[in-house]
A = this chain, B = another copy of it.
């Protein structure tokens, strides 16, 4: 039984093959054609922590494959309120379905779930630890918009300390060649040492002149132990049309969304602003992921 727990479980070959499958899915989605791969199958969407966009993206992917969805959107309505453990909840609901996509605020929850579940587990985020499907869709976006996953200069901006999407992206790109990172953050939100891999530069200035990919992040209020710290840092970087003038003509700006104030709305119409397209690419990427773990033998 295959699970998707951590981006580190995927080799370059695994990722390349997954993204090729996502590309096939994309062409079906664009044609408005439904696939039958998950017909008669059920996904459990277990969101022990609310995350509307991740949940709806997974549900959309399942429906586009002709599957059905059961689940919950937040913990309040679950048996957790009756003191049940996550392991028991997952083990029980795995009796009702064929694949589970789950999110939890607890690091390691997805791994634990995979040890008790009757069906494959897809990690939709476990606290500050992992969010592998976000990384896969980020890579798919770069592949589609830049045409390559090697030979890139990637600027990561904002909360590089708590931002798990940034961490997973750093790890995933270890598998690729000629990658340069620029880590742009205030020192309080600096990238942890374990992610400083390969060629990189650190700065607290929003210098984007030479970047092929600018990956913006939201300063996540909910990850801050100290709210005064959050207030001080929340507006530190902001991309405006002025900023965009300094960027390469063929650069792209990505963002896992939601944004708060990091990217001015006036940027949205610039073709280099691909963050909503990135959300769109999430569906075919997750279709490929669901097929990989639960799509049967073909």
Find out whether the CB atom of B84 lies under 8 angstroms from the CB atom of A283.
Answer: no
Interface residues on A, range: 35 or more
Find out whether the CB atom of B83 lies under 8 angstroms from the CB atom of A60.
Answer: no
**Interface status of A11 (Cβ within 8 A of chain B):** no
B-binding residues in A (CB < 8 A): 32-34, 39-42, 44, 50, 52-53, 56-57, 59-60, 63-64, 66, 68-74, 76-79, 81-84, 88-89, 91-93, 95-98, 118, 218, 221-222, 257-260, 276-277, 279-280, 282-283
Residue of chain B at shortest CB distance from A278: B95
A53 cross-chain contacts in B, Cβ below 8 A: 79, 92-93
A258 to chain B minimum Cβ distance, whole angstroms, is 4
Please judge, given known A-B contacts A53-B79, A70-B63, whether A32 and B40 are in contact too, CB under 8 Å: yes
Please judge, given known A-B contacts A63-B70, A97-B60, whether A92 and B40 are in contact too, CB under 8 Å: no
| Those 3 A-B pairs whose CB atoms lie nearest each other, nearest first | A34-B40, A84-B258, A63-B68
Find out whether the CB atom of B276 lies under 8 angstroms from the CB atom of A95.
Answer: yes
A117 to chain B minimum Cβ distance, whole angstroms, is 11
Q: How far is the CA of A138 from the CA of B276 in the complex (A)?
A: 37
Find out whether the CB atom of A70 lies under 8 angstroms from the CB atom of B60.
Answer: yes
Please judge, given known A-B contacts A91-B276, A96-B283, A283-B95, whether A52 and B72 are in contact too, CB under 8 Å: yes
